[in-house]
Every structure is written in C-alpha cells, then in structure tokens.
Amino acid sequence: MVRIVRATQAEIDEAVTALRDGELVAFPTETVYGLGANAQNPAAVQKVFEAKGRPTSHPVIVHIDSPKYLHRWVREVPDVAQALAARFWPGPLTLVLPRNPNVHDIITGGQDTIAVRVPAHPMAQQLLTAFGGGIAAPSANRYGRISPTRAEHVREEFGQAIRVVLDGGESQVGLESTIVACGPAGTRLLRPGAVTLAQLRQVAGEVLVGSADAVPRVPGSTPSHYAPATPMTIVPADEIDTRAEDASEGGRRIAVLAQRLPLKTYTSVTWINAGRRADAYAHDLYANLRTLDKAGCEQIFVQEVPGDDKWDAIRDRLLRGAAASEVENAEFPAAGALGAMP
C-alpha cells in the first residue's frame, strides 16, 4: 500500500493560499479525498457545487482540525455528541448537530443542522492546522459517481479544473465517513461507514437507523450514488462463476468483483478477487470499481458480501451502485447489455 502522509511546506503553502483566495483544493482524508473550500466563503463553496455538478440543496461537511473549534460551527453539543467525538475523533465519523446561526446557508442547505468532522489523515490535519479555519468538502467526485480514494482518481474526475490536489496516497478506510445525527429526534445513523452501529451503540446507547426526515438530506441516500457507468448487479456467492460464464458466452466482456478466485479461466471475463477481509475490501472497493468500469465490459457482477455488520457500509454502497444502474438501464436500455441476462 502506498502511504504518503506529510505534504511539503511548499505544497501546504500553495493549498492554504488557494483556500484564502477562494479557490478549491482537493485533499486526502482517511475515508476518501475531499474537494475543499474555505467554509466561511460562500462564493468559494459555490464553486465546489459547480465543479461537482451537485445541487445546492445538498449540504456539505465542514472539516476542522480539533473538536475544540466545534463551537464556531455548532450551537450546542449534546452530551452524546461529546462522547462520540471523544471516542472517534479524529476519525471516520461525521456528526450532524444544531448549527451556529452565523454558518452560511450554502453549507447547510438552509437547514438548522450542520455536519462536522475531524479527519485523521495527517495531511488533512496539516492542511487544516495551517489554514486555521473550517474546510467545507464533499467527496472529490462528480455528482453521483464513485468517490476518489487516490489523488489520481481526483485528476480523472476533474482534470486540470482543480489546480491544487494534495497527494496523500491511498485513503486507508476507502469508504465515506459514518454520519450520525444527534438531536431532538434522537441519535440516528444516517450513513454507515467504518465506525459501525455496534461501536456507536457502545458509546451512545440507543442509536436509530435512518433519517427521521422524509426529505433525503443525505445524497448518498438517493439511489444515483456510488455508481460505476457500467451496469452493476449483485449476485449470490454460489452463482458468481455460472453467471459470469453464461454472460460472457460468445466473447462478451464481463467484469467480476468476487471474494475468491474463479473456478476456471473464462476468456472474456475480467475477474478481481477482493478477498474476504472487510477492511481490505473497503480500502480497495472504489479503485476496483474504477478499474472494472474502465475494462470495457458490458456488465459488472459483484459477489454478494457477508451479512455481518463489518460489511454494512460496503453492502450499502454496493446496493446503491446496483440500484443506480437499474434506474439508468430502465431509462436508457443499453442494447444487449441486460437483454441477454437470465
């Protein structure tokens, strides 16, 4: 695994200058790369939405380097949030809390809450400390697409449109942060991530799952997320070989994301064995999906992952990716792609 943990002073200076000038900076975190702007400059945050093609109704996470700066962004910190922050920050946890009234509406989508996170990646910490303020940052991908876990993924998404991209190597976790809302509707898990429901409950007691709000405030909760461009289907573990073999008949190119080796060699199948360990699978998931997406295949088959809670976040992203390709295929039937499937 490639790990580059510190940026040079010149790189940090360039990034801080860009942020102060209202420009965007892509930076590594331990979950995925973020596309950041000065959270106190609404015009700069607007550029993030434009670059991503993301509707401004979707709020963004403010990244800070220490919980001691929470009060700048948050009106009140419930005890349960205090306990979660003490246990999991810095780390892959985002807390949704009552907003401080002077936070700009573009950050919160005009809601009464704000999402805040203290990332653990040393380079993110280095940047935040040098900048001295909050950085508003969604994942550094175009709206609805796969999050980047390497600097080169950010380049693939945005080319030269983002001038400053800090390269911190491969994101260690590989999936977006766990999001938890603490408020009058109780403590609620809004998005599963590396911090599991069981871990949250150990600290917070009762944790409900899902939003109390009918409005989808978490874009990842709409199906058009985490999706490769190639149609993706989840297949039971014991069917993965036959499905791949049948679909690849006549030389049709098929991609497989499995957790073991194929039973035999299939000539037109691109097969990735992502292994049986949840943390390693998560670390590689988005890079693997990008690789398979670029392999020129008609279909991606993903072996269904195990049912235990270590796999919750992975299962969530895979289900959304597969649901998004169903929607896209229903709207724009890809000739031959799904038609020949059983």
Residue nearest to ligand TXA (CB): 138
Closest distance of CB 183 from Mg ion, Å: 22
Q: Please, what is the minimum distance in Å from the beta carbon of residue 310 to ligand TXA?
A: 18
Q: Which is nearer to ligand TXA, 30 or 293 (CB)?
A: 30
Residue 32 in contact with ligand TXA, rule: CB under 6 A: yes
Q: Rounded to the nearest 5°, which phi and psi values hold at 226?
A: 55, 35
CA-wise closest residue to 317 among 305, 300, 327, 333? 305
Q: Which residue, 225 or 315, has its beta carbon nearer to Mg ion?
A: 225
- For Mg ion, how many residues bind (rule: CB under 5 A)? 1
Supply the minimum distance, in Å, between the C-beta of residue 318 and ligand TXA: 16
85 binds, among ligand TXA, Mg ion, none (CB under 5 to 8 A by kind): none
In sequence order, the 6+-apart residues with CB closer than 8 A to the CB of 228 are 146, 289, 290, 292, 293, 300, 321, 325
169: tokens are 């190597």
Six-digit token pair at 131?
Answer: 């900048």
* Residue 171 interacts with, from Mg ion, ligand TXA, none (CB under 5-8 Å by kind): none
For the segment 125-154, give every residue that binds Mg ion (CB under 5 A). Answer: 139
Q: Does 162 bind ligand TXA (CB under 6 A)?
A: no
Q: Give the nearest distance from C-beta 244 to ligand TXA in angstroms.
A: 31
Q: Which residue is nearest to Mg ion (CB)?
A: 139
Give burial (CB, 10 Å; 0-12/13-18/19+) of 115. buried
Q: Binders of ligand TXA among 75-134, rule CB under 6 A?
A: 94, 96, 108, 111, 113-115, 117
Tell me the window of 25-33, 263-271, 275-283, 324-332 that interacts with ligand TXA (CB under 6 A). Answer: 25-33
Going by C-alpha positions, the residue among 53, 13, 9, 11 that lies closest to residue 35 is: 53
Name the phi and psi angles at 37, rounded to 5. Answer: -140, 160
Half-sphere exposure of 111 (CA within 13 A, CB side): 22
| CB-count exposure of residue 342 (10 Å: 0-12, 13-18, 19+) | exposed
Which does residue 106 touch among Mg ion, ligand TXA, none (CB within 5 to 8 A, set by kind)? Answer: none
Scan residues 215-254 and list those touching ligand TXA (CB under 6 A).
Answer: 217-220
Number of residues that bind ligand TXA (CB under 6 A): 27
Scanning 6-14, 149-157, 213-221, 312-320 for contacts with ligand TXA by CB under 6 A, the matching segment is 213-221
Cis peptide bond N-terminal to 59, omega within 30: no
Least distance between Mg ion and beta carbon 11 (Å): 24
Q: Quick one: 54 or 243, whose CB is closer to Mg ion?
A: 54
- Among 310, 341, 308, 313, residue whose Cα is nearest residue 325: 341
Contact 89, 25 (CB under 8 A): no
Angular region, 53: left φ>0, alpha ψ -120 to 50, beta rest: left
Query: What is the four-CA torsion angle of 190, 191, 192, 197, rounded to 10 degrees?
Result: -10
Give the binding site for Mg ion (CB under 5 A). 139
Give the binding site for ligand TXA (CB under 6 A). 29, 31-32, 34, 58-61, 94, 96, 108, 111, 113-115, 117, 137-139, 176-177, 179, 190, 217-220
